[in-house]
Structures are given as C-alpha cells and as structure tokens.
Amino acid sequence: MSAEVSEKFLQRLNEIGDRITVALDQLIPPAEGPEAQLMRAMRHGALGQGKRLRPFIAIEVGRMFGAQEKALLRAAAAVECVHAYSLIHDDLPCMDDDDFRRGQPTVHRAFDEATAVLAGDALLSLAFEIMASPETHRDAIMRCRLVERLAIASGARGMVGGQMIDMAPAPGDKEPLQVLTRMQKLKTGALISCAGEVGALLGGALESERHAIAGYTNDLGLAFQIVDDLLDVEGEEAELGKAVAKDEAAGKVNFVSILGVDGARDRVRYLAAQAKQHLASFGVRATTLLQTVDFVLNRRH
Ligand code: GRG
C-alpha cells in the first residue's frame, strides 16, 4: 500500500522487540507454589510473538529526544504489559471469545477463564508497578506523569472506554463512521498515543514537539486500526495467528464495511501522509518513525 520497509528497519524493530521480550521475561519470572500458574499464564500472554509496535514507538520517540535507554526500555515494557492484558481479556468468552492469538492458544484456552482474568489483572498492575518504580526514573514527578498518562490511556477515557463502546449496540441516530472512529481512537489509538507520549516525556520534549508526536500517533493509530480491518477481510489466518472475518461473522461494522476496501485503503493512505507531515519539523531525526508508518501500512499480521 506504501513504500516498502527496508531490511535495516525490520532489524531495528526485531532488535527492540527482542529487548522487550528479554525485559518482560525478567519482569515476569516463573514462580513456585500456588502462584506458579498465574505467572505461567502471564508469561504465555506477554512473551508470545507480538510485533512490539507500542514499545517500539515509545523507544524510537524517546531516542529521537535523547532519552535514557534504561528508562525507555522499562517504560516501553510497561506499555506492552497493558497491551498484553488487553489482548488476554479481549479474547475471553465474555468478550470476543477467541481461541488463537499470536499463533498460539489464547490464555483462557491454554489455562482456564479464571486464570486468564487474573493474568490480565496482574499484567495491568505490573505495568503501573514498573512505571512507578525508581528503577524506571529517579524523578518522582516524572514517574507520576508516566503513571497518569498510562492510567488515562488504559482506563475509561481510553482503551477500556473504547472497548465498552465497541460492545454496546450501535446507536442508530449517529453517523456510523463518526461513532466507529471515536471508538477506535479510544480502544486502539489511546495506547499507541500513550507510547509516543511516554517516549516524548522521558526525552524531555518541548510542548510543541509533544504536540507533533501526538498528531503523528493519532493518525498512525487510526491507520493501524483500518489496516487491521482490511486484514480481517483480506488476511490469512495462518499469517495473522488469529481468526479472520470476525467482524462480519459478529455482524459488526468496521472501516471496511462502511468505506469498502478501496475507500478504506484511501483513508489509510491519507492518514499515513498526514502522520508523516506531523514529523516534518524533526527532519532526518524522524527517519525511523517515518518508516514505522510504512511498516504499519504494509503489515501482513
Ligand atoms: C481491556 C478487554 C479490554 C480490551 C481493550 C485493545 C483492545 C480493547 C483489545 C485488543 C483486541 C484487538 C484485536 C484490537 C484490534 C487492534 C489490535 C489492538 C490488534 C492487536 O495489536 P497488534 O497487532 O498485536 O499490535 P501484537 O500481537 O502484534 O502485539
């Protein structure tokens, strides 16, 4: 759909993904005794083959502003913990009821429902433990700001609020595209934007720079979601590691059902161009973030 991503970019994405996996492996150590199953379930949900896009954005934004690597890695891992929790809970029978995620059985399938609920809860708590730890940043005010950003993005005014809207019956009196866009901005977009904010805060970015990053992640997050909807229609189950055509089967509207395949593709291209435009003032320093837009557009899983 857009410029091919370079081998160098993919190496960088993999390198950061591997560092996040190592960090999560250490942050969620296997346990003995009665909690052993909980830790196994948390590891199952968090250590699988994810793209690590949110931590990648946090780290690359932070690097652009010269943030300290250890702080970035821990804060990025915290954002990924929230993402992993959301996937575990979203897959539950009371939500999307999915059997496969990241090419392996979902947590409630590999363990049981109660364990999956608890593993998601514990990953969410762990995310805030990491953000609030002096090991992440020596400055308590910075830690409070990180915690606040993550709380807003993941809670009722962000991801969980978006999920609630997604589960509610579609309101008949509103424009479906408006309702869908707002829902997805909360459900998927809020955590992607949070990743950018975390990097910018840790890098000490100026307010105008944070504003530009927010514009970039808003557009990128929405483009990411529209691509997700296109993959739900056009993707391969084996490549995606999860079921396809879920929205149609559930009778749910998505960007493809409203805009059509060509209209959805046009919208993605428009958002991608706009996302890149927000980075213009950063010049070559933003090269990796620009390539991230192309990666999101061309992703096959
Ligand atoms: C808190 C229950 C609850 C849900 C929150 C974000 C969310 C709502 C649910 C996630 C389910 C989902 C499939 C959303 C659609 C877009 C999306 C976030 C896909 C998964 O993200 P990727 O592609 O996943 O980055 P990987 O596996 O690569 O990390």
Is residue 282 in some structural domain?
yes
Nearest atom within ligand 1 for CA of residue 95: 2
Q: How far apart are CA 198 and CA 200, in angstroms?
A: 5
What residues pair up with 101 in beta bridges, in sequence order? Answer: 104
Q: How far apart are CA 273 and CA 290, in angstroms?
A: 10
Is residue 253 in some structural domain?
yes
One pLDDT digit (tens) per residue for the chain, 301 residues = 767 889 999 999 999 999 999 999 999 999 999 999 999 999 999 999 999 999 999 999 999 999 999 999 999 999 999 999 999 999 999 999 999 999 999 999 999 999 999 999 999 999 999 999 999 999 999 999 999 999 999 999 999 999 999 998 876 667 899 999 999 999 999 999 999 999 999 999 999 999 999 999 999 999 999 999 999 888 666 666 666 667 777 778 899 999 999 999 999 999 999 999 999 999 999 999 999 999 999 988 8
Is residue 291 in some structural domain?
yes
Provide the number of structural domains found in the chain: 1
* Placement of tokens 């739900």 in the chain: 232
Q: How far apart are CA 21 and CA 98, in angstroms?
A: 23
Hey, what's the torsion of the CAs at 182, 187, 188, 191, to 10 degrees?
110
| Amino acid residing at 206 | L
* Residues in contact with ligand 1 (CB, 6 Å cut-off): 50-51, 53, 83, 86-87, 89-90, 95, 102, 159-160, 163, 187-188, 225, 228
Range of the domain at 70: 7-298
CATH (domain of 92): 1.10.600.10
Q: How far is ligand 1, taken at its centre, from the CA of residue 140, in Å? A: 30
Instruction: Please report the pLDDT score of residue 235 as a whole number.
Output: 65
Burial 82-103 (b: 16+ CB within 10 A, else e): bbbbbbbbbbbeeebebeebbe
Q: How far is ligand 1, taken at its centre, from the CA of residue 188, in Å? A: 7
The residue nearest atom 24 of ligand 1, judged by CA position, is 50
Sequence length of the chain is: 301
Is residue 1 in some structural domain?
no
The residue nearest atom 19 of ligand 1, judged by CA position, is 228
Is residue 191 in some structural domain?
yes
Q: How far is ligand 1, taken at its centre, from the CA of residue 101, in Å? A: 10
Instruction: Please report the pLDDT score of residue 74 as a whole number.
Output: 98
Q: How far apart are CA 133 and CA 129, in angstroms?
A: 6
Instruction: Please report the pLDDT score of residue 251 as a whole number.
Output: 77
Q: How far apart are CA 142 and CA 215, in angstroms?
A: 22
Is residue 2 in some structural domain?
no
Is residue 75 in some structural domain?
yes
Which residues make Cβ contacts (< 8 Å) with residue 137, sequence separation at least 6?
71, 75, 143, 146, 202
- The Cβ-side half-sphere exposure at 240, using a 13 Å CA radius, reads 17
Q: How far apart are CA 110 and CA 99, in angstroms?
A: 9
